[in-house]
Amino acid sequence: MADEGYEFPVDRTQVMLFARSVLDIRPEYSDPNDPATKAVGGMVVPPTFVQCSAHWQPNYPLDLTRPRKDPAPQRPEGGGGGGGLGRGLHAEQHYEYHHPIHEGDTLTVTSRPGNRWEKEGRRGGKLLFSESITEYRNQDGVLCVTATSVGVQTERAVDQ
């Protein structure tokens, strides 16, 4: 089941700081007056920038530092995270880019479960894989990015 979604405003300062944090100093990420920026229609975001949307997600389960609406956030069923009990991990992340994201856009972010499958493991029993698919649409409803997260959980604690 898809979630209700939330909005993620793409701020010029966020874009510049993210680009600098990954050591990418291209002008398309920081200088609106540079010819390279004008050639792409204005300041755009670096690849994987959409992960910053977690700062805007209400009750983001991995952020324990901010006030919460609900006291104990839960991950959605079938999510791509690894899960708890020391038996899970984030296994893969894929991005499909459909349309440029520009500084000043407001993205609507929605997530839904994807595929689920199993493989036989060697030490922890079955490996249970699950996808979480997150879509980022701009203020015009145009799909900009599809991010697929794959989590894996073991059936039981790993044999030592």
Residue 102's CATH number: 3.10.129.10
Give the model confidence (pLDDT) of 134-157 as tens digits.
999 999 999 999 999 999 988 877
Mean of pLDDT values over 105-121? 93
Closest by CA to 106, choosing from 22, 59, 45, is: 45
CA atoms within 13 Å, Cβ hemisphere of 41: 9
**Residue 159 included in any domain:** no
Residue type, 146: T
**Does residue 29 sit within a domain?**
yes
Any domain includes 145 = yes
Residue 160, in any domain of the structure: no
Q: What is the pTM of this model?
A: 0.81
Report pLDDT for 76: 46
The predicted structure's pLDDT at residue 61: 72
> What's the number of domains the chain is made of?
1
Please say if the pLDDT value at position 124 is more than 70: no
In a domain, 50, yes or no: yes
pLDDT over threshold 90, residue 69: no
Say if 37 falls within a structural domain: yes
Sheet containing 106-120, strands listed edge to edge, beginning at the edge strand earlier in sequence = 6-9, 106-120, 126-137, 143-154, 88-97
Give yes or no for residue 62 having a pLDDT over 80: no
Question: Would 80 be classed as within a structural domain?
Answer: yes
Please give the mean pLDDT across all residues of the chain: 85
Range of the domain at 59: 6-154
Q: Is residue 1 part of a domain?
A: no
Alpha-helical (H) ranges within the chain are 12-21, 35-39
Give the model's confidence band at 78: pLDDT under 50 very low, under 70 low, under 90 confident, else very high.
very low
Mean pLDDT on 59-68? 72
User: Which residues in 36-58 are b (16+ Cβ under 10 Å) and which e?
Assistant: ebeeeeebbbbeebbebbeeebe
Write down the pLDDT at residue 156: 78
pLDDT of residue 120: 85
